[in-house]
A and B are shown apart, each in its own frame.
Chain A
Amino acid sequence: MLSETLFGTDEMMTSLMQKRKAGGVVWKVVFLFSTSLAILFLLLLLVSVIDSTFGYVAVRNEMEPSQLVAGKDAVSEFSRAELETVLQEHLSSGILRRVLHDKPLQERSKTDLVSLAQQYVVKPSVVRSWGLGDSLLDQKSIEAFMAGNEGLHLTFRSWINWSFFTSDQSANPLNAGVRTAFLGSLWIIMITFVFAFPIGVGAAIYLEEYAVDNKLNRLLQLNIFNLSAVPSIIYGLLGLAVFVRSMEHITSGAFLSSVSDTTANGRTILSGGLTLALLVLPIIIINTQEALKAVPDSLRMSSYGVGATKWQTIASHVLPASIDRILTGTILALSRALGETAPLVVIGASTFISVDPSSIFSKFTTLPIQIYQWSARPQGAYRNVAGAAIITLMLLLMAMNSFAIIMRDKISKKKRMES
């Protein structure tokens, strides 16, 4: 034993040390547990989405392909001549006239003819669909179901496939696609960016670089923080009152006399984009302010030191030093807007449209609205369609976020290496 000090004997020191370490271990386990829990829930989400997106479907055809052309079990096996004959013979005169009016059969591609034949002649409909889990693990009950029902076709289907991206909304889950909603989302996000980015960055530059520290500006700042915490549905109500109702003349395109027949009053892409722009504006402002704050004052001072004006300092040094953070933050804010549903529902986004948006004055639907609408349908097969749309939305969000990260890395690398 060494000397006894105010810290106690060596033994006491050792035992205290063990206690201190044990305390640390407890917290470490707690943190590990919460991390694992978070990962577990994420995995569950992913599993449930994937489960509904892939699996067996039992389909009943209104007209079997083998009845149309003997010996061929699928429309895709038909020859071109056979397809043309089948279409001529089985399409109702109204549909045939419309199809021919769009484009004569001879000029259409074979895949086009196949899909026409599927849609209007074979008319498959889903009787029952199974998730991926059931499809892999519970094949007995699927077989039992098939044995109990005559004339069904069982196929393994990936609900997310190429035609899902290229076709629009449909009353038949087998034909339903996400194209209109995807384009709607892109249009909306573009409008949001065009309005929110310059206004947000401008406001942030004013608040951070120009505004003097007085009561009014502090109040402004406080309110921006509060606005960023306002529930999105409130923004929807604001958008409804301001953009859809009060500014209908502008948001409907009436002032350009370019009201398209697909437009419903002010419930246009422009209104939706502006509403989401309001929603993300405080986020962009706060984020940009943080980015500007992170620029060291010594950089501003060195610029003033050689006789630069305030604006020269901001434009040549402060903004270049913070642009990566500003852009990353903006893209993340836009990803939030991309996933917003409530405000768009409030301002009256259409839930069932099959016409692509063609201008900012078009009616629109977006991916999250489409997902909401599909998952609310009574037919079970729409849940599979919703799953596929969720994957589409997640892929889009992931693409945007990765783009943000890649761009940030590129810019900061460029800043380091800059000539």
Chain B
Amino acid sequence: MNTTNLAEALPRVYEQPQEEKTIIALKDVSIYYGSFQAVKQASLDIYEHRVTAFIGPSGCGKSTVLRSINRMNDMIRGSRIEGSVRFHDHDLYAADVDPVLIRRKIGMVFQKPNPFPKSIYENIAWGARINGFRGDYDELVETSLRSAALWDEVKDKLKQNALRLSGGQQQRLCIARTIAVQPQVILMDEPASALDPIATGRIEELILELKNSYTIIIVTHNMGQASRVSDHTAFFMVDEKRRGYLEEYAPTEQLFLNPAHKKTEEYISGKFG
């Protein structure tokens, strides 16, 4: 398989599937930073057009696993991965796969809102431009901002620097920026942890809406948030060697109401974490 095949292999338009269809499959994924093993043999399937939440105590490797899905970990010096991550049944870590193309298909929203220090308009348009978008930019900016529920607030100040928006607006702009390049999957690394409750609520509403068009994986510390927005929840734990591992993975309702493992129950009932 080469990179062009991957690009062609990715369907462009999606319909909401009724049955659960695996889009990303992690198999025995272990991640190392130098000699330190951060994640131990995690295996799980991510379903298309569903919201999957990663929860767990600090240092359990949930963000690390998330970043392995669009190869963001490549940026960290000394990081190494074992096992396989497959996207539409293509190995994301095959030697001939271009990480840039993966990030184009699997977008990311970060913990701290990090818009480009450019205008609101340019924040949306830049990603599209470098990816060779040939449509109407004004339209793209408007659609993306509308999808991120930000249009009404910023339509009169598109030329204004994005850094002058509030934290919650900046984070929605980051989501709009990610949507603008039309990925299939959006990874969200604690997207609301730096925001106040009202802004958090808006992000959660937004996630529920985006689910119709995208597959979303969200890392969160907030269990209420996981139960409100997600369809499936993966609970990660730390073992005695400080290695993160997947303790339990189940539909959200089942995991929160009827957890199979004792540790899961203790965690969600607030006994530790």
Q: Which residues of A come within 8 Å of B, CB atoms?
A: 212-213, 296-309, 312, 316-317, 321, 415-419
Contacts of B261 in A (CB 8 A): none
Q: State whether A305 touches B110 (Cβ < 8 A).
A: yes
Contacts of A317 in B (CB 8 A): 116
- In the bound complex, what is the Cα–Cα distance between A213 and B160 (angstroms)? 39
**Known pairs A299-B116, A304-B100, A309-B100 / 4 extra A-B pairs, C-beta < 8 Å:** A299-B114, A302-B177, A305-B178, A307-B103
- Which of A296, A297, A316 counts the most B-chain CB atoms under 10 A from its CB? A316
Q: State whether A419 touches B178 (Cβ < 8 A).
A: no
Contacts of B119 in A (CB 8 A): 418-419
Q: State whether A307 touches B77 (Cβ < 8 A).
A: no
Please tell me which one of the listed residues A307, A312, A416, A417 contacts residue B181 in the complex, with CB atoms under 8 A apart. A307
Contacts of B108 in A (CB 8 A): 301, 305
Q: Which residues of B come within 8 Å of A, CB atoms?
A: 70, 72, 75, 77-78, 100-101, 103-105, 107-110, 112, 114-119, 126-127, 130-131, 159-161, 163, 174, 177-178, 180-181
Q: Contacts A298-B110, A416-B161; is A307 near B116 (CB within 8 Å)?
A: no
* Dominant secondary structure at the A interface: helix
Question: Could you pull out 9 A-B pairs where Cβ atoms are within 8 angstroms?
Answer: A213-B77, A302-B177, A305-B70, A305-B107, A305-B109, A306-B107, A306-B180, A416-B161, A418-B117
Chain A residue nearest to B124 in the complex (CB): A306
Q: Contacts A307-B104, A416-B161, A418-B118; is A302 near B75 (CB within 8 Å)?
A: no
Q: State whether B116 touches A304 (Cβ < 8 A).
A: no
Looking at the assembled complex, report how far the CB atom of A318 sits from the nearest CB atom of chain B, in whole angstroms: 11
Q: State whether A308 touches B161 (Cβ < 8 A).
A: no
Chain B residue nearest to A307 in the complex (CB): B104
Q: Contacts A212-B77, A316-B126; is A305 near B103 (CB within 8 Å)?
A: yes
- In the bound complex, what is the Cα–Cα distance between A312 and B126 (angstroms)? 10
Contacts of B109 in A (CB 8 A): 305
Contacts of B114 in A (CB 8 A): 296, 298-299, 301-302
Query: What 6 A-B pairs come out closest when comparing CB atoms?
Result: A307-B104, A306-B127, A305-B108, A298-B114, A302-B114, A419-B159
Chain B residue nearest to A309 in the complex (CB): B100
Contacts of B177 in A (CB 8 A): 302, 306
Looking at the assembled complex, report how far the CB atom of B131 sits from the nearest CB atom of chain A, in whole angstroms: 6
- In the bound complex, what is the Cα–Cα distance between A312 and B100 (angstroms)? 11
Contacts of A312 in B (CB 8 A): 130
Q: Contacts A212-B77, A213-B78, A308-B100; is A301 near B117 (CB within 8 Å)?
A: no
- In the bound complex, what is the Cα–Cα distance between A303 and B181 (angstroms)? 12
- In the bound complex, what is the Cα–Cα distance between A312 and B116 (angstroms)? 13
Q: State whether A304 touches B130 (Cβ < 8 A).
A: no
Looking at the assembled complex, report how far the CB atom of A419 sits from the nearest CB atom of chain B, in whole angstroms: 5
Contacts of A305 in B (CB 8 A): 70, 72, 103, 107-110, 178
Q: Contacts A301-B110, A415-B117, A416-B161; is A306 near B181 (CB within 8 Å)?
A: yes
Q: Contacts A305-B107, A305-B110; is A418 near B161 (CB within 8 Å)?
A: yes
- In the bound complex, what is the Cα–Cα distance between A299 and B110 (angstroms)? 11
- In the bound complex, what is the Cα–Cα distance between A316 and B117 (angstroms)? 11
Contacts of B131 in A (CB 8 A): 306-307
Q: State whether A301 touches B75 (Cβ < 8 A).
A: yes
Q: State whether B77 touches A300 (Cβ < 8 A).
A: no
- In the bound complex, what is the Cα–Cα distance between A418 and B78 (angstroms)? 37
Contacts of A298 in B (CB 8 A): 110, 112, 114
Contacts of A307 in B (CB 8 A): 100-101, 103-105, 107, 127, 130-131, 181
Please tell me which one of the listed residues A302, A316, A415, A419 contacts residue B110 in the complex, with CB atoms under 8 A apart. A302
Contacts of A306 in B (CB 8 A): 103-104, 107, 126-127, 130-131, 177-178, 180-181
- In the bound complex, what is the Cα–Cα distance between A415 and B78 (angstroms)? 34
Looking at the assembled complex, report how far the CB atom of A79 sits from the nearest CB atom of chain B, in whole angstroms: 67
Q: State whether A304 touches B159 (Cβ < 8 A).
A: no
Q: State whether A304 touches B75 (Cβ < 8 A).
A: yes
Q: State whether B77 touches A321 (Cβ < 8 A).
A: no
